[in-house]
C-alpha cells in the first residue's frame, strides 16, 4: 500500500499545547545530553561509542528522558546516531573542522516521533502517550487535528509532532497508508525537474509536455529582495518567508495536479523522475544551507507527484541518475557541455536540435526504461511533439502558439 505524508494542524487547549512543548523541550535536552556525554567520553578516552547499548546506558542518567514517551526517546537516540554518522562522513572528507556534531539551541523544540505505538488517531482525534515518568504526572494528552480534506487513508503508520519555524506553530506529520486508486494503464513517463522549466515530461508517444518555471522564479526573486532588507530570522523575515512558501506551493499544486491529470488521460502507470543533482550543480549557491533552501520547491515537486500519483495508482520513482542527462545528445549520445546553448536550446553537430529540457526529459526516459520514445528501429530519430504550458494563479494556461516548432531533428 502506498504511503504518503500528511501535514496536519493541531487544535489543542493551551494547557495541552504547553505540555506538548515541554515534551519537545525534553527531547532537545535528551539530544543535547547524549551529545554532551559522548563529547566527554571522547575527551577522556579519545573514542566515541555510538552503539545503542552505550547510548541507552547514558539515557538512564538523563532525567528528561522520562519527560516523554519511551519509544520516542529511542528515536531521539537514533537521531543522535545519525548526526554522528553524517558527521563522521563529513570529517572523512575533511569538510568539518570541529570535534563533534553541534548541540541544538537552548529552548529549541525537537520533534516527538511515534512509530506504530504510543499514539491513537480516530477521525480528527489524537491521543498521545507521554510515558510514565513526568513530574506533572501527565501520561497522555488528547487534541484534534485537521488536514487537507481530499485524502482518505486506511491507517496511520507514523506520527510526529514538529515545530514549524516559519509559522511558529507546532504541527503534526502523519505517514499514512492510502488505498491506491484503480489504474489499469500501461503507459510510462519521465520527468526532468528544473528551474526555468519546472517540469519536462516525456511520454511513450514522443510527446514532451513542459511546465514553465518562470512564474515561480519571479516570485522567489521578489521575496528574496524583500527579505534582503530585513534581519534574518526576525518576525517580519519569517512572515515574508511564509508568504513566499504559500505562493510557490500554490503554483506547485496547480502544475503537479495538471501533470498527474495528463498522465491519467494517457494511461500512465509509472513515472520516473531524475534526481535533483542537476539543480544543485547548475548554479553555485554557496554553503549547504543555501543549497537546501534553494532546492526545496523541487523536492516538493517530487513529493507532490508521489502522493498525487499514489492516489490514482501511479508508481513514482525518483532514483534515476540525472548525471549528464542535460548535456548528452539524445540523438547520437555525444556528451558535450558546449551543446547546451543559450536560451535553453540544445544543438548537436549531428543535426539534433531541441529545447534543452526536452532533450533532458527524453534522456531520463531512455535511462529509466532502456528505450527512447522517439528513436525508430532504423536509427532514425523522430521529432518530439512539444506542448508548453504556463502557470497562472488560477490554473495552467494552454499553449498560445500551438505548432510553433520548438524542436527539429536530422
Ligand atoms: Zn548528437
Q: What CATH number did the domain enclosing 346 receive?
A: 3.30.420
Last residue of a domain, one of 121, 149, 177: 149
* DSSP result, 5-22: EEEEEEE--HHHHHHHHH
- Regarding whether 199 and 56 lie in a shared domain, the answer is no
- Regarding whether 13 and 119 lie in a shared domain, the answer is yes
What is the model's pLDDT at position 291? 58
Last residue of a domain, one of 149, 177, 195: 149
Residue 162, domain member (yes or no) = no
| Cα(278) to centroid(ligand 1), Å | 20
- Regarding whether 277 and 139 lie in a shared domain, the answer is no
Report whether 214 contacts 196 (CB < 8 A). yes
Dist CA 278 CA 284 (whole Å): 11
| Cα(271) to centroid(ligand 1), Å | 26
| Cα(52) to centroid(ligand 1), Å | 54
What is the model's pLDDT at position 178? 85
Last residue of a domain, one of 91, 122, 149: 149
Residue 165, domain member (yes or no) = no
Report whether 156 contacts 176 (CB < 8 A). yes
Report whether 219 contacts 226 (CB < 8 A). no
| Cα(403) to centroid(ligand 1), Å | 24
- Containing structural domain, residue 294: 187-397
| Cα(330) to centroid(ligand 1), Å | 7
- Regarding whether 344 and 233 lie in a shared domain, the answer is yes
| Cα(361) to centroid(ligand 1), Å | 15
| Cα(209) to centroid(ligand 1), Å | 22
- Regarding whether 140 and 81 lie in a shared domain, the answer is yes
Burial class from Cβ neighbours inside 10 Å (0-12, 13-18, 19+) for residue 331 reads buried
Return the sign of the alpha-carbon dihedral for residues 10, 12, 17, 19.
negative
User: H-helix or E-strand containing 269?
Assistant: strand 268-274
- Regarding whether 261 and 138 lie in a shared domain, the answer is no
Comparing CA positions, the residue from 151, 93, 89 lying closest to residue 124 is: 151
* Count of residues in the chain: 410
- Regarding whether 70 and 18 lie in a shared domain, the answer is yes
- Regarding whether 215 and 71 lie in a shared domain, the answer is no
Across-strand partners of 170? 163
The owner of cell 543549497 is 291
| Cα(9) to centroid(ligand 1), Å | 52
From residue 31, alpha-carbon distances to 58, 109, 111, 139, 203 in Å are 11, 11, 11, 21, 48
SS3 letters across 334-351: CECHHHECHHHEEECCCC
Please provide the distance, in angstroms rounded to a whole number, between the alpha carbons at the two ends of the chain: 45
Residue 163, domain member (yes or no) = no
| Cα(279) to centroid(ligand 1), Å | 23
| Cα(370) to centroid(ligand 1), Å | 18
| Cα(196) to centroid(ligand 1), Å | 23
Grid cell at residue 158: 507514523
DSSP type of residue 224 = H
| Cα(16) to centroid(ligand 1), Å | 64
Per-residue pLDDT of the chain (410 residues), as tens digits, is: 778 888 899 999 999 999 999 999 999 999 999 999 999 999 999 889 999 999 999 999 999 999 999 999 999 999 999 999 988 888 888 877 777 888 998 878 999 999 989 999 999 999 999 988 899 999 999 999 999 887 788 899 999 999 987 777 899 999 999 887 788 899 999 999 988 899 999 999 999 999 999 999 999 999 988 988 988 878 888 889 889 999 999 999 999 999 999 999 999 999 999 887 656 545 555 555 555 667 788 889 999 999 899 889 999 998 888 888 888 999 999 998 777 676 788 999 999 999 999 999 999 999 999 999 999 888 789 999 999 998 888 888 877 654 444 454 43
Dist CA 335 CA 317 (whole Å): 25
Residue 160, domain member (yes or no) = no
DSSP type of residue 373 = S
Report whether 196 contacts 213 (CB < 8 A). yes
Helix (H, G, I), strand (E, B) or coil at 409: coil
* DSSP result, 44-88: HHS-----HHHHHHHHTT-GGGGSS-HHHHHHHHHHHHHHHHHHH
Residue 180, domain member (yes or no) = no
Residue 341, domain member (yes or no) = yes
| Cα(266) to centroid(ligand 1), Å | 29
Dist CA 306 CA 315 (whole Å): 8
Give the total number of structural domains in the chain.
2
What is the model's pLDDT at position 278? 59
Residue 182, domain member (yes or no) = no
| Cα(346) to centroid(ligand 1), Å | 10
- Regarding whether 215 and 125 lie in a shared domain, the answer is no
| Cα(347) to centroid(ligand 1), Å | 8
| Cα(206) to centroid(ligand 1), Å | 18
- Regarding whether 234 and 369 lie in a shared domain, the answer is yes
Report whether 334 contacts 351 (CB < 8 A). no
| Cα(348) to centroid(ligand 1), Å | 5
| Cα(247) to centroid(ligand 1), Å | 39
CA 182 to chain centre: 26
| Cα(317) to centroid(ligand 1), Å | 28
| Cα(242) to centroid(ligand 1), Å | 44
- Regarding whether 269 and 195 lie in a shared domain, the answer is yes
The owner of cell 502522493 is 307
Dist CA 256 CA 395 (whole Å): 11
Question: CB under 8 Å to 367, separation ≥6 — which residues?
Answer: 190, 272, 320, 321, 325
| Cα(360) to centroid(ligand 1), Å | 13
Beta strand 353-355 pairing with 345-347: antiparallel
- Regarding whether 206 and 293 lie in a shared domain, the answer is yes
Angle at 135 between CA 132 and CA 138, to 5 degrees: 55
| Cα(239) to centroid(ligand 1), Å | 48
Amino acid at each position: 500500500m502506498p504511503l504518503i505524508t500528511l501535514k496536519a494542524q493541531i487544535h489543542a487547549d493551551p494547557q495541552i499545547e504547553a505540555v506538548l512543548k515541554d515534551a519537545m523541550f525534553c527531547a532537545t535536552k535528551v539530544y543535547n545530553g547524549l551529545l554532551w556525554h559522548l563529547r566527554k567520553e571522547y575527551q577522556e578516552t579519545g573514542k566515541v561509542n555510538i552503539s545503542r547499548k552505550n547510548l541507552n546506558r547514558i539515557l538512564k542518567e538523563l532525567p528528561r528522558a522520562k519527560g516523554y514517551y519511551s519509544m520516542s526517546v529511542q528515536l531521539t537516540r537514533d537521531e543522535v546516531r545519525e548526526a554522528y554518522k553524517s558527521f563522521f562522513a563529513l570529517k572523512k572528507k575533511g569538510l568539518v573542522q570541529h570535534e563533534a556534531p553541534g548541540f541544538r539551541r537552548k529552548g529549541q523544540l525537537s520533534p516527538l516521533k511515534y512509530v506504530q505505538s504510543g499514539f491513537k488517531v480516530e477521525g480528527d482525534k489524537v491521543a498521545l502517550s507521554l510515558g510514565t515518568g513526568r513530574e506533572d504526572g501527565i501520561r497522555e494528552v488528547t487534541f484534534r487535528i485537521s488536514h487537507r480534506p481530499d485524502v482518505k487513508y486506511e491507517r496511520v503508520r507514523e506520527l510526529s509532532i514538529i515545530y514549524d519555524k516559519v509559522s511558529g506553530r507546532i504541527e503534526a506529520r502523519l505517514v499514512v497508508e492510502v488505498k491506491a486508486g484503480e489504474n489499469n494503464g500501461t503507459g510510462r513517463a519521465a520527468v526532468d525537474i528544473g528551474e526555468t522549466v519546472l517540469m519536462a515530461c516525456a511520454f511513450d508517444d514522443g510527446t514532451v509536455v513542459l511546465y514553465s518555471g518562470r512564474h515561480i522564479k519571479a516570485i522567489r526573486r521578489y521575496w528574496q529582495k524583500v527579505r534582503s532588507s530585513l534581519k534574518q530570522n526576525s518576525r517580519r523575515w519569517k512572515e515574508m518567508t511564509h508568504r513566499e512558501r504559500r505562493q510557490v506551493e500554490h503554483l506547485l499544486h496547480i502544475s503537479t495536479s495538471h501533470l498527474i491529470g495528463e498522465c491519467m488521460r494517457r494511461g500512465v502507470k509509472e513515472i520516473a523522475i531524475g534526481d535533483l543533482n542537476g539543480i544543485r550543480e547548475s548554479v553555485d549557491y554557496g554553503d549547504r544551507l543555501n543549497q537546501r533552501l534553494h532546492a526545496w520547491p523541487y523536492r516538493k515537486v517530487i513529493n507532490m507527484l508521489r502522493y498525487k500519483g499514489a492516489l490514482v495508482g501511479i508508481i513514482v520513482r525518483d532514483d534515476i541518475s540525472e548525471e549528464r542527462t542535460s548535456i548528452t545528445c539524445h540523438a547520437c549520445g555525444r556528451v558535450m557541455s558546449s551543446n547546451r546553448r543559450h536560451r535553453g536550446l540544445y544543438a548537436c553537430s549531428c543535426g539534433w536540435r531541441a529545447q534543452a529540457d526536452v532533450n533532458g526529459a527524453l534522456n531520463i526516459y531512455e535511462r529509466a526504461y532502456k528505450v527512447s520514445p522517439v528513436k525508430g528501429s532504423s536509427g532514425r530519430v523522430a521529432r518530439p511533439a512539444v506542448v508548453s504550458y504556463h502557470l497562472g494563479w488560477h490554473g495552467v494556461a494552454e499553449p498560445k502558439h500551438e505548432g510553433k516548432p520548438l524542436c527539429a531533428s536530422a
